[in-house]
Structure formats: structure tokens, C-alpha cells
């Protein structure tokens, strides 16, 4: 199995030792507390789950700026997006060396992690905007990732953390949420050597289904990891439980038995396009996958990124040898009326756009809300039925 990113072994920050876990939980009740925002809480979950390996906690301002500007920490570790705990108010933790981080997404705000505070630094508006411009390629406040990042606060709390729980993800998605550790273990249990990963924040239509099958065949993979984001999305995106149900139905009916692992991870979507594609590849390397599918407008939103910028960044800005995982670069995939099957557009230069079955996201939503069946060339009927129930509810 492929090695984790940045270390020989995966080093998740969740405290698995039960005695130590109990000690920390007891200690945390008497520590100065910081109520996290959702972005910082998601970062804690990802650190705990091993997806952010080899990092030990939240970055300081120098590292955050360095990562934003050059995709490397001050010590030279390649990394595409800052891992930060930015907050509006640090009055409750002023002068503290050790603090309890409380979860904003769970009733009662339980402690999600304990942090050793190395520094509390004030971040200027200029610094926040400069980082946003590098991470997202824009400072437009209409970009959902920019709006979130620039609204988190002006104080950066850095230092290592020890994670005590995985927020709401384990409870709300017990059959789907998996840590990088658990995914590695399951790959090993299945006897798979080579796994190709597919990232999704949306339901999977015929094109996505066939893309996974094409990638598996092309790289001779033993299986595919369908790895869905379970955290916060922008308004209008389909909720995780609906996506989960639709994907499970598709896999049950249309994939060979024991060829797919359906899993999810606890992170809030950044919509950072190329930078997020690189981050996604590291998640999958830490999960033990050898290949990662990057398609058209991966992790994009609106018209902020070019169709294949998320592929080009791997050739243009990722240092050679920095990543162990290989990128499977996919073109736009759609059903060909000429060939009566799903194809990658680059593979059929004799086709015109009229030869494909293509529906915009807006058109799909309108049809489902109106109770109209989607073309079977576009979506499996069993999947469409689940989505229609959501849009009509």
C-alpha cells in the first residue's frame, strides 16, 4: 500500500488510548475554552483522522502565509492550504498555555480537542485578503470560500492538538464516516493493493459512475474509494444524507460486488479549485490510495476557475516527487448518442456537442422539482428517484 504523505507511518492526532483519553477529557473541563468556528472544528477532525498527516496541529501566521504564497511551510514541507484556527475573540484564552477547543456544530459544545497554545497572533485584514487571493485565486466576496475564510476572525491560535472526538460525523454518518486509519485498515483487509479514489460533494450520475469504472480499468485498480465530503456546503448543494443514499443505491445496482468502498470524511468544502484538488490528493494518499481522479473543474464553483486548472496545477506548481499518489486526469464525461455509451469527450473528436446527453445543474434541479424523469442516459432511474424525493420535499 502507498505510504502516507510526509512520513513513513500515518500519525493521526486522535487519542486512541482509553486511559489517556479519559485523563484529557477530565482535564479539558477545567481548561480555558475556545468555541471554534466550523472551519477550525473541521480542521481538528481532519487532524484527528490522519488526513492532514504529517501535521501536528494548527499553523502559526508565518506558516499560514508561507503556505498561501508558495504552497510550502517555512520549513519547506509542501502543503497547498493553511491549516488554521482563526477566531474573532481570544479574551477567554488570553495568556493560556493550554486550552479546550469546543465544537460549534454539536449541541452543548463538547470538547473536540485540547490545544497547547504556542502563539496567539493578530492577523491584519490585508494579510487575510492576501492569503485568500492566493488560496482561492480571487478575493471576490461572492466566492463562498473567500466569504468564509475572510469572515473567520482576526486572531490566529497556533499549536499542536490532541483530538478527543470526531464532532457530529461519527454519530450522523456511522456507516459512512471513516478516518484515514480506518480506510487503510479496510483496504488491507480486502487484500487490495492498488486503489483509485473519487472525490464527490454531489450525487453521482451516469458519467461519474462510468468515470470511476474507466479509471479502475485504466490503472488496473483492485477497487475504487468513493470518498464523499460530509461537512458544510454552500446553500443549494444537496445534503450529505441524500447524496449518501443515492451513491449507495448506484453502487449496489451498477458496480461489481466488492469493487467499491463507500466512505466519507469530516471537512467543510472550501471551493478552492486547483488548491483544493491538491489537498484532496493528499487526503487520498494518507488513506492509502495509489491514484486519484481529478476531473473537469474539480472543487470549483461558479466561473472562478478554468475547466482544467485543477489538473494543470499538478504539472505546474506541485514539485516533482512531492506526492506519492498519481493523478488520473479525466476529461468531461457524458453519454454519446452515437456510441450509446458514456465516453470522455477527448476520446471522440468526431462528436459535436449535439451528440452528447448533457444537462446543466439548473436544468436537473428544475426537472426533479417538477417530478420529471431524468434521461436514463444521464442518471440511473433509482438514483433519480432518491434525488426527486429530496427536491419535492
Beta strands 155-163 and 57-58, pairing class: antiparallel
- Which of 202, 248, 296, 365 is the catalytic position? 202
Residue 225 grid cell = 474509494
Question: How many CA atoms within 13 Å lie on the side-chain side of 173?
Answer: 26
For residues 370 and 265, give the distance between their C-alpha atoms in angstroms, rounded to a whole number.
Answer: 32
Give the N- to C-terminal CA distance of the chain in Å, as an integer. Answer: 44
Rounded to a whole number of angstroms, the CA Rg of the chain reads: 21
Active-site residue flag, 275: no
Beta-bridge partners for 57? 160
Q: Tally the residues of the chain.
A: 393
- Three cell numbers written together for 193: 493493493
Q: Compute CA 279 distance to the chain's CA centroid, rounded to the nearest angstrom.
A: 8
Annotated active-site residue in 178, 184, 201, 275: 201
Give the cell for residue 224. Answer: 475504487
| Number of C-beta neighbours around residue 158 at 10 A | 22
d(CA 223, CA 210): 14
**Interatomic CA distance for residues 34 and 45, integer angstroms:** 16
How many helices (H) does the chain have, and how many strands (E)? Answer: 13, 15
Active site residue 154: no
- Strand segments (E) across the chain: 33-35, 57-58, 86-87, 98-102, 111-116, 119-122, 155-163, 195-200, 223-229, 260-265, 291-294, 326-329, 333-336, 341-344, 356-357
Taking the C-alpha atoms of 295, 299, 304 and 306 in order, what is their torsion angle to the nearest 10 degrees?
A: -20
Catalytic residue set: 201-202
Amino acid at each position: 500500500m502507498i505510504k502516507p504523505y510526509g512520513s513513513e507511518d500515518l500519525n493521526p492526532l486522535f487519542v486512541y488510548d482509553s486511559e489517556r483519553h479519559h485523563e484529557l477529557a477530565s482535564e479539558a473541563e477545567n481548561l480555558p475554552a475556545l468555541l471554534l468556528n466550523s472551519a477550525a472544528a473541521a480542521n481538528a477532525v481532519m487532524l484527528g483522522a490522519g488526513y492532514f498527516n504529517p501535521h501536528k496541529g494548527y499553523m502559526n501566521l508565518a506558516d499560514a502565509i508561507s503556505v498561501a504564497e508558495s504552497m510550502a511551510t517555512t520549513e519547506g514541507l509542501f502543503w497547498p492550504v493553511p491549516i488554521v484556527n482563526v477566531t474573532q475573540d481570544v479574551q477567554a484564552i488570553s495568556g493560556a498555555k493550554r486550552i479546550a477547543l469546543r465544537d460549534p456544530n454539536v449541541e452543548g459544545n463538547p470538547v473536540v480537542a485540547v490545544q497547547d497554545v504556542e502563539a496567539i497572533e493578530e492577523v491584519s485584514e490585508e494579510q487575510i485578503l492576501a492569503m485568500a487571493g492566493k488560496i482561492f485565486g480571487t478575493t471576490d466576496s461572492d466566492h463562498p470560500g473567500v466569504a468564509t475564510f475572510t469572515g473567520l476572525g482576526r486572531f490566529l491560535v497556533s499549536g499542536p492538538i490532541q483530538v478527543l472526538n470526531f464532532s457530529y460525523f461519527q454519530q450522523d454518518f456511522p456507516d459512512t464516516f471513516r478516518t484515514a486509519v480506518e480506510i487503510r485498515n479496510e483496504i488491507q483487509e480486502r487484500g487490495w493493493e492498488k486503489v483509485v479514489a473519487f472525490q464527490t460533494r454531489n450525487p453521482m450520475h451516469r458519467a461519474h459512475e462510468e468515470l470511476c469504472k474507466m479509471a479502475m480499468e485504466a490503472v488496473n485498480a483492485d477497487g475504487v474509494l468513493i470518498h464523499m465530503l460530509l461537512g458544510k456546503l454552500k446553500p443549494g448543494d444537496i445534503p450529505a444524507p441524500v447524496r449518501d443514499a443515492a451513491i449507495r443505491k448506484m453502487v449496489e445496482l451498477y458496480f461489481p460486488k466488492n469493487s467499491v468502498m463507500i466512505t466519507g470524511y469530516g471537512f467543510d468544502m472550501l471551493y478552492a479549485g486547483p488548491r483544493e484538488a491538491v489537498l484532496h490528493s493528499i487526503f487520498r494518499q494518507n488513506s492509502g490510495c495509489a491514484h486519484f481522479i481529478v476531473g473537469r473543474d474539480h472543487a470549483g464553483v461558479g466561473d472562478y476557475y478554468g475547466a482544467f486548472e485543477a489538473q494543470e496545477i499538478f504539472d505546474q506548481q506541485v514539485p516533482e516527487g512531492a506526492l506519492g499518489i498519481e493523478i488520473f486526469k479525466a476529461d468531461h464525461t457524458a453519454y454519446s448518442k452515437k456510441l450509446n455509451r458514456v465516453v470522455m469527450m477527448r476520446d471522440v473528436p468526431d462528436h459535436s456537442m449535439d451528440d452528447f446527453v448533457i444537462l446543466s445543474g439548473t436544468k436537473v434541479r428544475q426537472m426533479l422539482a417538477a417530478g420529471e424523469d431524468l434521461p436514463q442516459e444521464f442518471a440511473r432511474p433509482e438514483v433519480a428517484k432518491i434525488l426527486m424525493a429530496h427536491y419535492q420535499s
